[in-house]
Structure 1
């Protein structure tokens, strides 16, 4: 399968999804979409847990199940978005007082 054929798979980044996520995403596919994934998996990874999930869903569809309304191309929670900051925080922390070792001007030192 060429890069174009890989890009045409019904689930983006299919090869990198955990099996548990894949089991949820395939519920929105029709028979043609599942057949494409089964064929791809048999020719490439042949991962038995993945094939088991795909074939089980294909059997459910053959028995009359309907694809769910989900979107298999939706953002993937398995992949965290990139960090939104650049370096240390610029928000100052609480004021720091020096240790109260006999400094009468230190506000944290007890007065007597």
Structure 2
């Protein structure tokens, strides 16, 4: 297979994917798509860990491993925006000093000006 242009890869954001994400995204790809990524990887970045990952997945698919569902080109799900912290000065506990050595039940006292 000739060197594939970046725009025609099965994973459009392939170059920016971290190894852990790439590992999950390639599970939906067939052997032809995996071979296309392997050719691109060897011609460009030639990252050993990625080549091993792709080679292992090609062997798994050739041995009959099922492809996962889902769209491999879809980006990661976004977490819902948080509404803000429930912690406020009104809900914070009173500050206190650490207990003295030897007696955890006795509250500590400030050291004063030394």
- TM-score normalized with structure 2 length: 0.63
**In the aligned structure 2, how far is the partner of 1:39 from the partner of 1:68?**
22
Which residue number in structure 1 is paired with residue 11 of structure 2? 11
Distance (Å, rounded) in 1 between the aligned partners of 2:41 and 2:15: 9
Q: CA deviation at 1:15?
A: 0.5
Q: Deviations over 1:42-75 (max 9, x none)?
A: 0100000111111100000011112111211112
Alpha-carbon separation, structure 2, partners of 1:43 and 1:75: 25
State the match for 1:68 in structure 2: 68
Aligned residue-pair number: 82
Considering Cα pairs closer than 8 Å and 6+ residues apart, tell me whether 1 or 2 has the greater RCO: 1
Aligned pairs (5 A) from 1:1-112: 1=3, 5-77=5-77
Q: CA deviation at 1:22?
A: 0.1
2-structure distance, mates of 1:41, 1:51: 7
TM-align CA RMSD = 2.6
Give the Cα separation in 1 of the matches to 2:46 and 2:72. 21
Could you tell me which runs of 5 or more consecutive residues in structure 2 were left unpaired when the two chains were aligned.
Answer: 79-114
> Whole-Å Cα distance in 2 between the matches of residues 13 and 57 of structure 1?
19
Q: 1:76 Cα shift?
A: 3.0
TM-score (norm 1): 0.64
